[in-house]
Amino acid sequence: MGRLFGTDGVRGVAGSELTAGLAMSLAAAATDVLAGTGAFARAQDARRRPVAVVGRDPRASGEFLEAAVVAGLAASGVDVLRLGVIPTPAVAYLTAALDADFGVMLSASHNPAPDNGIKIFARGGVKLPDAVEEQIEARLAEASEQALEQAAASPDPGRLAGPSGVPEGGFGRVRDAAGEGQRYLDYLLSTVTGPEHAETGPPTHLPSPLQGLRVVVDCAHGAASMFAPGLLRRAGAEVIEIGTAPDGLNINEGLGSTHLDTLSAAVVAHGADAGIAHDGDADRCLAVDATGQVIDGDQILAVLALALHESGRLAGDTVVATVMSNLGFRQAMRQAGISVVETPVGDRNLIAAMLDGKFVLGGEQSGHIILLDHATTGDGLLTALQLLAQMARQGTPLADLAAVMTRYPQELINIKGVDKSLVASSGALREAVAAAEAELGDSGRVLVRPSGTEPAVRVMVEAVDPSQAVRLADQLAATVRGLG
């Protein structure tokens, strides 16, 4: 069995790569590791069954995959709180808030509707370290071998691979807990109003944190649809919503954080102060200013870093970013006296570096922003609240806030249909990258890497001259395509 877990859980085409049988078996394997006798096990009361929370985004395949995960958990003796359609960061938050042993989210984030994925959070709502994912995969492989042996002894082709027998504490019970989403929204609101006003908002004699702002929010027909517009309204904004009619098949289709043209046009058409874009599971946030110009994750990160720095709340005067962060971001941070710690792409890498250095802020150009004072993972709704609150607090247009950094031109090309493993071993590619880097010198960067979430290789070239970035990226992409 090849490695199942990528940079953000187990992901694949629903029904073929990610099947009900795999989802059920993965849930059982995760139970053995996270609620058994391993390093992540809780000191168990023998009379208490483990508890897991399960959420999903609105894509159609989430319905049968949720059923399979819940079946695998309950058959393994886990009590399940079924959260329904809900953002990924809400699952992380509620795993901790409800004192669950672990959480499971079914989503393929920004991927199209045919894809789906399984993300697992450990106790406290934190993402799993590589070592724990490897334990789960090993347990899954072991269970698969046992199932094959049993099938050989007594074939039953209709049987799904999964747990068998009655668990020691009895089968788990399943309870619908969709109402717990309100607990998550109350908590988010408290980060800008204070915890004493979480449920009701600020008293009438105090201004709302987003008062006076007109905002367009694009929910990508995803999990944010039933959460983000209401949250922004409770915080005091006038809200125009788009992408809030999920039908199970239209998630991320021409909308959301990977398709910003519609949001830009809507912001200009409505005379809005800003636009907010989420992805399918709402762990990302990108923005658009009043003129329709895109404000990417680097710019959002820069705005939040300066705000925390100026208030003395930026731990170590350090922000964590990935290798994809723009050169202009690094220059802006250096000018402000803020250090930058660089990690590989993926919010799990950001979080690991943040925890290791006790830093509170990190993020990616793609819009994953982690505010560890408030959340254990990237949270698009939280990011939107904090960014818009800075606009309202300072009385400054978003374009002026984002102007703290100059965004260098970047050319990004995704190449599909090549063997990603050849990227590290190809001498021809190494020579092509070295030649591009020599040409750019100190005025740009080159990055070629396999995607952790898609069957693709990503080529990025950054340069002061946009035409040079395009030319070099095209040359490198041609070299990658030649790898076969």
Closest-CA residue to 384 (of 261, 267, 259, 210)? 210
> Could you tell me the CA-to-CA distances from 146 to 4, 289, 429 in Å, in that order?
19, 56, 43
Amino acid residing at 59: R
- In the set 61, 109, 208, 366, the catalytic residue is 109
Q: Are 399 and 291 within 8 A, CB to CB?
A: yes
The rounded distance, in Å, linking the Cα atoms of 415 and 418 is 7
Q: Are 476 and 446 within 8 A, CB to CB?
A: yes
The rounded distance, in Å, linking the Cα atoms of 440 and 446 is 9
- Tokens coding 320: 């964590």
- Look at phi and psi of residue 254 and say left if phi exceeds 0, alpha if psi is from -120 to 50, else beta: left
- Is 109 among the residues known to form the active site? yes
Q: How far separated are the first and last CA of the chain, in Å rounded?
A: 24
Which positions are annotated as active-site residues? Answer: 109
